[in-house]
Structure 1
């Protein structure tokens, strides 16, 4: 006949750490509230599932390396009044586009919030259990170059495959050289219809010949990216420039208000 003294050992072997920690206190609670065995077991299982979810999401946020503070609630959509915020919110709350390995491409001048929106979307995706990874495009390309030099490029691609979404931020800053161009193209080709990418770019497609070394590669890269993609263009004044100008105005007003009346 089974004995309850073996239960902690069995739960440990089954890797049910939350249930192992709570089974005694929940047993007391079950007795107090008159739970039947099924209710007691259900309550323990729910705690195990909830704790596993929390640990998994915490791990996903840590490994994603997302820039901090860039959430949907912290983005000022009033800065781009003609922009459809519903599209961004939908892509953040509904991961079906990731399941279809679709891409998301942000275009617009520097400082208009492309990175903020890309990261905000990924914050929402992680909450749904989607693994993502943020990279500055130049940093990832350099990593891929090192991997190729060490004959580890395919292994690196396989490691990146565990992330359902890759963010390549500021792709336009990748240098136009054979080495960088080829590993970037190989990444795009590898992810095609196999994993989603979110790419931010200051330059439109017509200027991507500044990234890739020849026209055929440029066309092939764009073709793979846009085949299953949503393209979002942001036309607005730079947030950073607007904030800087506002700060200058505040400082000027402070200086003027501190001057003696005779000097005004």
Structure 2
């Protein structure tokens, strides 16, 4: 079966109709810039294929940048701090830091539904590390969503009260990586803990969780209302998991001490 050649209008008519066709094809960047690229192509003697390649390359690049911006907005990150900006010296064992760097460079662990747990006292940079991993995954075209633990629990509680909890859990499935910050602030309350437990069960071996916590597992009985629920939740989280422990003093307290010291009047 042969394909007949299209009927090409005169140059002026084609130039007038081209923006309409490009809008129908949703080629926004090409619609806005094809004339300047055409002038460059004519001036530099490009072939037709070189001209078409330049247009398509820029369209793809602009679409990728737009998607990155959408992913960043949808992630609701509290700030933008890269993993490389974290001073891990003396806080994280070398092989664990290398493990975090490896996780930031690839996304296969998300496809396997593996989890990351960051343990450490307040102020040592757990949220910084969580945000750094999320930014790296967004750079790899992976959707992420950041929640303070209490906000997430409140959202899920509201969904349960409206008999929409299953739908709310499924909506969160659009994010291969869900970040839950400061899980220890969830109160030991059956309603709060049960929706959190259902989320953990729902995502088990399907979607990844990144959780930051001040307390070790031995203190999680203060989060869940029964030891059996605690054991079941921890068992699911650690089955496919990367556990990173962070030590040291609070960055915030250290910075406050330095500021306080610099403001002390000098003795004559």
TM-score (norm 1): 0.92
Residue pairs, 1:22-171, within 5 angstroms: 22-78=33-89, 80=91, 82-84=93-95, 85-171=97-183
Unaligned runs of 5+ in 2: 1-6
Name 1:183's counterpart in structure 2: 195
Name 1:210's counterpart in structure 2: 222
Q: Secondary structure at the match of 1:119?
A: helix
Change (3 A) 1:69 1:17: closer
Q: Secondary structure at the match of 1:213?
A: coil
Unaligned runs of 5+ in 1: none
Change (3 A) 1:218 1:129: same
Cα distance in structure 2, aligned partners of 1:28 and 1:106: 54
Please, which moves more after superposition, 59-68 or 86-95?
A: 86-95
Contact 1:133 1:166 in 2 (8 A): yes
Name 1:7's counterpart in structure 2: 18
Cα distance in structure 2, aligned partners of 1:194 and 1:81: 28
Cα distance in structure 2, aligned partners of 1:124 and 1:108: 22
Change (3 A) 1:82 1:194: closer
Name 2:29's counterpart in structure 1: 18
Name 2:3's counterpart in structure 1: none
Shift of 1:78: 3.0
Shift of 1:83: 4.2
Size of the alignment, in residue pairs?
256
Q: Secondary structure at the match of 1:66?
A: coil
Change (3 A) 1:143 1:81: closer
Cα distance in structure 1, aligned partners of 2:188 and 2:121: 20
Change (3 A) 1:83 1:202: farther
Shift of 1:79: 5.1
Shift of 1:64: 0.8
Cα distance in structure 2, aligned partners of 1:91 and 1:26: 40
Contact 2:92 2:245 in 1 (8 A): no
Could you list the runs of 4 or more consecutive aligned residues of structure 1 that deviate by over 6 angstroms after TM superposition? none
Change (3 A) 1:193 1:82: closer
Shift of 1:8: 1.7
